[in-house]
Structure 1
Amino acid sequence: MKTILQTVLAVVGLALGSGSAAAQTEWLMASGYPESNYFTQNIRTFIEEVGANSDLQIELAPNDTLIKLDAIKTAVQRGQVQMGEIRLGVYSNEDPMYELEALPFVAPTYADAWLLKDLQREYFDTLMTEAGLRVLFYAPWPGQGFYTRDEVTAVSGFSGKKLRIFSAPTQRMGEMMGFEATILPFAEVPQAFSTGLIDSLFTSPQTGIDIQAWDNTKYFMKVGAMYSKNAVIVSESYWEELSPETQEVVLAAAKRAELRGWEMSAKADAEQTGVLAQNGMTVTEASEEVVGRMTEVGDALLEDWRGKASPEAIAVLDRYLALR
């Protein structure tokens, strides 16, 4: 009898253990930035909150270790990973809305960028639904600036410099400012410096720190001008497999992550130019001439944008401009 009872308890224990394992859902997420980047830190906190309050466990593969940043959206669509972090401006060839906030001085403050994000949300939701995706939250980059090897105080100083930028609109901006502009993924920037493909950057202080820009440039001219966004996305098919209770936990954590991400960006914007200076870089504010020229470029690019955007996208822009 004792042996039978021990056997029954062992079987029950195995069944309970199996049921517990089956109840836990494991997802894989890809992102493109190192652990020191506030985007990654924010995602880590989001993942911890989800794991602590639901049966969903998410493993993060950061810093392009699993999938390159520019390929993450496709990987999520194909089901290679359940989740990913993307940079919206990468997909401007799919819809002009992806590049709107990357046009100079369209949304030049955090308040403007937050308003634009809220007004874009429904439009992006439609685009993502059509692609079999869902956006969980958005987070912005700090204001942008020019990294150069020698000091530049006037627009004429940009002429002929080889500039790395990150999107089609910033490539056009660079060209209109006098640069030879090239779009390159984040991970390829150090090698591009070493081979002479580039000698300048237009990017945020965060990216400058991530790639140790002081190894290849000596001056950072802060412009601001734009606060482009990243988005954390999930495959809709995998999302639908989650229980309603788990979905509620994820959405609540995503709401906190979105606000936290904007707060972290604003804090980084205030602190990171100091990190550049501590590493020997000279940090300056853009001159009135540079800001004036970039504003002219932004106006021209915005008119071009209107010419290729859908009526629905233009309606979002017009509503934003009326409320700003």
Structure 2
Amino acid sequence: MKHFSMLAFASAAALCAGLAQAQEVTLNLSNEYAATSIHGVGDARFAEAVSEATNGEVEIVVHFGGALGYKSADHFDAVGEGALEIADTFGGALGGIDPLFLLPSLPFLVTTVEEAQILYEVSEPVFAEIFEENDQILLYASPWPPSGLWARDPLASTDALSGVKIRTYDRNGTIALNALDAAAVRLSWADVVPSISTGAIDAVLTSAEGGVSSSFWEHFDTFTEIYNYAIPLNFVHMSRSVFDDLTEDQQQAILAAAEETRAANWAAIPDRLAATYADLETNGVEVVSSTDPAFREALQAAGQVALEEWLAETGDEGQALIDAFQARMAQ
């Protein structure tokens, strides 16, 4: 009898150990951008916070620079179909899924991080619903620093933009810059440096930080600020079925880490900007700012063209988000 009890105890202990082991899980997170980018740093922070909160039960392995072979445009389907557990995806790449994702990058709709955060707060429920409808959950979203133009020469006038082959990150940028007589084309981030090297593009619409993370000073001499053209977002989203398979404690740890990372990423923009501009100076990149009111008016008119096309596509739902944002701004 004693032998049986000891055997039963040993079996139970082994079973418990097996169950504990079964709860351990490894999740892959794909990011098209570099580990040193604001979103790469955020992803690493998120993974570390989850590991600490779960005592190592949940390990998130972050794959930077598109190392898994996914571009941002691939992430939505990959996560929804279960081929990838988590992704950090540039919002512009989701415009083909639903044009509402192009709201944050509408030119000159917001010009400060504070305004961008208000815009995201009013639109977050809509974005979350789109992910939910596709077997995914929105963990958090966070901004890029303001966009400008990397090029060999300053692009601080409409004449300077004419005919320039400019990489844009979404349809909004392509519409707006082509309205200024540029030759704009949308490219995924992974295709940017190869396109610069082959001469397929002459300039790149992105943040100063985006260029720093990819050492753009090896190709370009100037970064032209264009009145905080836009402050686009990245979205971190996770497979709903994978999330549901986790224990409740593990789920709560992921959600808490996501909230912490979101807050940290938004708060990091001022320091990131300061560090980025120091890098530009160190590497001999000239920062150009136009003071020509005619150029600013032309840019804003081009942004209006993009807004009107976006509203034509999104209809009442898009207008409702614009109205909600403007109401918050008026408070």
1:66-81 superposed matches below 5 A: 66=68, 67-81=70-84
The alpha carbon displacement at 1:300 in A equals 2.4
Asked whether 1:23 is paired with 2:23, we answer yes
How many residue pairs align between the two structures? 324
Asked whether 1:236 is paired with 2:240, we answer yes
For 1:93 and 1:164, locate their aligned partners in 2 and report how far apart those are by CA, in whole Å.
Answer: 18
Aligned to 1:62: 64
Aligned to 2:145: 142
Aligned to 2:45: 45
Alignment partner of 2:316 out of 302, 307, 311: 311
Asked whether 1:262 is paired with 2:256, we answer no
The 3-state SS of whatever aligns with 1:272 is helix
* Preserved CA contact (<8 Å) 1:143 1:269: no
Asked whether 1:173 is paired with 2:172, we answer no
The 3-state SS of whatever aligns with 2:268 is helix
Task: From the superposition, tell whether residues 6 and 126 of structure 1 become closer, same or farther in structure 2 (CA, over 3 Å).
Answer: closer
For 2:156 and 2:126, locate their aligned partners in 1 and report how far apart those are by CA, in whole Å.
Answer: 39
Query: Which moves more between the two structures, 92-101 or 265-274?
Result: 265-274
For 2:97 and 2:313, locate their aligned partners in 1 and report how far apart those are by CA, in whole Å.
Answer: 11
The 3-state SS of whatever aligns with 1:181 is strand
- CA offsets, 1:131-164, max 9 Å, x none? 1111000110000111121234421011111111
* Preserved CA contact (<8 Å) 2:154 2:288: no
Alignment partner of 1:111 out of 111, 114, 118: 114
Task: From the superposition, tell whether residues 298 and 320 of structure 1 become closer, same or farther in structure 2 (CA, over 3 Å).
Answer: same
For 2:18 and 2:309, locate their aligned partners in 1 and report how far apart those are by CA, in whole Å.
Answer: 59
For 1:120 and 1:286, locate their aligned partners in 2 and report how far apart those are by CA, in whole Å.
Answer: 32
Asked whether 1:251 is paired with 2:255, we answer yes
Structure 1 residue runs of 5 or longer lacking an equivalent are none
For 1:274 and 1:155, locate their aligned partners in 2 and report how far apart those are by CA, in whole Å.
Answer: 28
The alpha carbon displacement at 1:322 in A equals 2.1
Task: From the superposition, tell whether residues 284 and 315 of structure 1 become closer, same or farther in structure 2 (CA, over 3 Å).
Answer: same
- CA offsets, 1:184-231, max 9 Å, x none? 111111111121100111110111012211111111111212110001
* Preserved CA contact (<8 Å) 1:145 1:204: yes
The 3-state SS of whatever aligns with 2:224 is strand
* Preserved CA contact (<8 Å) 1:76 1:235: yes
For 2:314 and 2:80, locate their aligned partners in 1 and report how far apart those are by CA, in whole Å.
Answer: 24
For 1:271 and 1:295, locate their aligned partners in 2 and report how far apart those are by CA, in whole Å.
Answer: 29
The alpha carbon displacement at 1:245 in A equals 2.1
For 1:90 and 1:68, locate their aligned partners in 2 and report how far apart those are by CA, in whole Å.
Answer: 9
1:214-229 superposed matches below 5 A: 214-223=217-226, 224-229=228-233
The alpha carbon displacement at 1:6 in A equals 10
Aligned to 1:280: 284
Asked whether 1:301 is paired with 2:303, we answer no
The 3-state SS of whatever aligns with 2:287 is strand
* Preserved CA contact (<8 Å) 2:156 2:288: no
Aligned to 1:102: 105
The alpha carbon displacement at 1:313 in A equals 2.6
The alpha carbon displacement at 1:8 in A equals 8.1
For 2:15 and 2:60, locate their aligned partners in 1 and report how far apart those are by CA, in whole Å.
Answer: 25
The 3-state SS of whatever aligns with 1:254 is helix
Query: RMSD across aligned C-alpha pairs, in angstroms?
Result: 2.2
| Equivalent AA in structure 2 for residue 315 of structure 1 | A
